[in-house]
Structure 1
Amino acid sequence: MMTYLEFEKPLAEIEGKAEELRAMARKSEGMDVEKEAAALDKKAADLLRDLYKNLDPWRKCLVARHPDRPHCKDYIEALFTEYTPLAGDRNFADDHAVMGGLARFNDTPVVVIGHEKGHDTKTRIEHNFGMARPEGYRKAIRLMELADRFGLPVITLIDTPGAYPGKGAEERGQSEAIARSTMKCLEIKVPLISVVIGEGGSGGAVAFATGDRVAMLEHSIYSVISPEGCASILWKDAEKMREAAESLRLTAQDLLKLGVIDRIVTEPLGGAQRDPGAAIAAVGSEIALLLDDLRGKSADLVSARRRKYLAMGAKGLAA
């Protein structure tokens, strides 16, 4: 059953009426409602196009967080073969908010790492809503070191509101683990491709997304802080999240202009949640293009990667 966002309520009414008509026709033989239902379908399609033509940043946040968007597990199952999950940080525990392992992408051996949010109450709790603890970042470091040792490209899928801010996580060195994961992204001598598939929140996202090439789905977001957190700090009022979303420049379109990301992956009309298969296929095509682009450049990857991120800092200081 489709989950509608707040701004999609008019669309829900029209699509609901079309479905009601068809349900009545199924119960009553000889009842012909297809003409009326088709007219409603067209009206719904036009409204959907209008709604998604120019989404403001806050609505982009809502779409990026949509519970029906495909998650890391869905991408891995659809795009990768021979996936062998690797667990644990060899220090404290296995963090289920981060999944990763060895796999093949288009028959190329790779290491894939990503945040997993879960798809229902049970799995969301199990995966801690995609909010990694230190052991999750240390697991990612271990997998990146493995990839580097065996010359395997790394593909990361980012979808997290941010790193878990709990007391235990801070006691076990959350900030140090995030910093080391970010540093490891800069150190490995193999291609690193990052794709923001939903939320790219704070250092928890940067720790996986400091790649040679960074792509974002059209309606995903990537920011140093959530709009609600930003509003709470700047205005002492979380309800000002719309103003914060505007100011943070967190959309894929803004970040491409700023040079923070390299590519935008087009989503199906109405967002990835309306056609997960098409969204996953689009991401797969983008990863294939980026892998081809980086193939044969391993000799200069580390220095080029460092120059890329140092240039961003220099541009920010100049501004």
Structure 2
Amino acid sequence: MPEETAGRLSARRLLGLVTDPDTFTELPSPTRRSRPDGPLGWQGYDDSRARAAERTGEEESVVVGTARVEGTAAVLIAFEFGFLGGSLGERTGDRLEAAYVHARAHRLPVVPLVATGGSRMQEGMLALSQLQRVARQSALTREAGLPQVAVLRDPTTGGGWATLGAGADVVLALPGAQVGFAGSRVRPPDADPAAYTAEAQVAAGSADAVVSAEELRPVLGLWLRLLTAPATAPADPPPALGGSGLPATGWEAVQRARAPRRPRAEAYLDAYFSRRVALSGDRCGGADPGGMLCGFGERDGRGVAFAAQTGTATRPAGYRTAARLIRLADRLDIPVLTLVDTPGAANDAEAERQGAGAAIAELFAEVAAARTPITTLVIGEGGSGGALALAAPHNTWATPDSYFSVIAPELATAILKRPPEKAEPTADQLRIRPQDLVELGVIRGIVDHPANASTTPPPPPPSPGPRAG
């Protein structure tokens, strides 16, 4: 299917594309007393609706129902852009509310397939107020612990983007889709059209991924399966992939952790999960795909969330994305695996302008408050608070080729006003080797290669306590 037409498919054709054959059942449409030419008496509105119905075969701008997507049952909300531009009016709000109520009653995830120009002019503020109605239904569904995965089509603008789209837990988009709060007719004349695309929204951290029409069903199905099939126990720490044998000195631990060929996060995630999908962006203008990998993976048929540092300095957007991931996993009762590997938080001027301290504080708070179990493995450098923010209290492990330190030995040497050549003995004094960390009680243990493992599985970490009602 050509990408240039995929985003403009009719609601029912799109439902046929993403759902398993013969599984879609349309929900009954709520009835609302009709008034001539709508609530504002807008002359010609009834005629416009009639023409839209004749052209599309639909009675409103959304089609809602239940179906299976790659085997997972869900409530789907498909916008029909051919019906008055997919705009939202009072009757649209009735259907949307009914869809969310049904989802909560039957414990089903919600999938908005969005294609809308925004609120319906012919219904004025009554149309605009439907956004509040939708936002409440979305919030109630979120509180019920049910995931929402949106698919952005062409176009997704106005209030539809600002509620059903951007308000979802996971946001996927079709290539080239027009996405933005401002529609094409209300933007400044000199606005760059490239800023209002699905690709731009992913780059800005407002959407998670661009997915082709051909891949949409399997990708959406995997997301739904992972978010609705949580593991029932904490994630086990992955086995070590790098060198075995413990370092003799602190400086050796540092050198081994910094070795260019040491396995990084990608290798650990690939070995741990059979399949995984990425959660990208902090939802406030930033993304850090080179410094923090976040998402959900399939482990023994169950869903586990992950946040993994990649060995580089972590940007503020990376910390905020990890915090977003932990909030979502906590709400859905999905265990979390975190991989620590960073020389420290980015400390350049731009990082400060982006709120480095606040972003790290947010992640510390989310890890501390999480009721879902978090398991941490230090796989390389554990540099200062920028690494500790991702570490689970009482359930952090380390590989033999890693270290964890209050600060890098070279920086500690400088702070202590020692000459640079004292970095090596300073590393020993800091006691940063994995075996030192075990003795100090900072970590629970050291993981080994599967071939060398001879110990029984670790005991579960201390319980975080009952979840607040």
Q: TM-score, normalised by structure 2?
A: 0.45
SS in 1 for 2:465: helix
Aligned residue identity for 2:429: S
Taking a change above 3 Å as real, the CA distance of residues 187 and 163 of structure 1, as seen in their structure-2 partners, is same
Whether 1:256 and 2:421 are equivalent positions in the alignment is no
Return the match for 2:248 from 26, 51, 55. 55
Matched residue SS, 1:66: coil
Contact 2:280/2:287 (8 A) holds in 1: yes
Name 2:285's counterpart in structure 1: 92
Question: Do residues 246 (structure 1) and 432 (structure 2) align?
Answer: no
1:300 aligns with 2:465: yes
* Amino acid in the other structure paired with 1:55: A
Give 1:162's aligned residue. 344
Cα deviation, residue 115, structure 1: 0.6
Provide the C-alpha distance between the structure 2 equivalents of 1:131 and 1:174, rounded to a whole number of angstroms. 12
Query: How far apart are residue 53 of structure 1 and its match?
Result: 6.8
- In structure 2, how many angstroms separate the alpha carbons of the residues matched to 1:176 and 1:53? 36
Q: Distance in 2 between matches of 1:214 and 1:88?
A: 25
Corresponding residue for residue 314 of structure 2? 132
Residues 187, 235 of structure 1: alpha-carbon distance in 2 compared, 3 angstrom cutoff: same
Aligned to 2:306: 112
Report matched runs for 1:132-281 at 5 Å: 132-266=314-448
Deviations along 1:46-85, one digit per CA (max 9) or x if unpaired, are xxx9x96762110111011111111001111111122000
More helix by share: 1
**d(CA) in 1 for partners of 2:465, 2:266:** 32
Work out the CA distance in 2 between the residues paired with 1:111 and 1:256.
26
CA-CA distance at 1:299 after TM superposition: 6.4
Q: Distance in 1 between matches of 2:274 and 2:402?
A: 25
Give yes or no for contact 1:162–1:203 (8 Å, CA) kept in 2.
yes
* Aligned partner letter, 1:300: G
* Aligned-pair CA distance for 1:106: 2.4
Query: Does the 8 A contact of 1:191 with 1:212 survive in 2?
Result: no
Q: CA deviation at 1:239?
A: 2.4
| Bigger radius of gyration | 2
Q: Which has the higher contact order (CA 8 A, sep 6+)?
A: 1
Which structure 2 residues correspond to residues 12-23 of structure 1 after superposition, within 5 A? none
The question of whether the paired residues in 2 share the 8 Å contact of 1:221 and 1:251 is answered with yes
CA RMSD of aligned residues (A): 2.8
CA contact (8 A) 1:79 1:105 kept: yes
Provide the rounded CA distance (Å) in 2 between the counterparts of 1:63 and 1:247: 18
Partner of 2:296: 102
Tell me which residue corresponds to 1:5.
none
What secondary structure is seen at the aligned counterpart in 2 of 1:67?
Answer: coil
Contact 1:190 1:298 (8 Å CA) reproduced: no
Which residue in the other structure is 1:310 paired with?
Answer: none
> AA paired with 1:72?
A
Residues 70-89 of structure 1: matches in 2 within 5 Å? 70-89=263-282
**Any stretches of 5+ residues in structure 1 without a counterpart?**
1-48, 118-129, 268-277, 304-319
Q: Deviations over 1:103-132 (max 9, x none)?
A: 122222110110113xxxxxxxxxxxx211
Aligned counterparts of 1:301 and 1:199: Cα–Cα separation in 2: 33
Shift of 1:289: 4.0
Pick aligned residue for 1:68 from 261, 281, 284: 261
> 1:20-59 to 2 correspondence within 5 Å?
55-59=248-252
**Distance in 1 between residues matched to 2:391 and 2:343, nearest whole Å:** 14
Q: Distance in 2 between matches of 1:53 and 1:231?
A: 24
Residue pair 1:182, 1:210 contacting (<8 A) in 2 also: no
1:195 corresponds to which letter in structure 2? Answer: L
- Deviation of residue 240 (structure 1)? 1.4
DSSP-derived class of the 2:280 partner:
coil
> For the Cα contact (< 8 Å) 1:190–1:301, is it kept in 2?
no
Once the two structures are TM-superposed, the CA of residue 237 in structure 1 deviates from its matched residue by: 2.5
Q: Is the 8 A contact 2:375 2:395 kept in 1?
A: yes
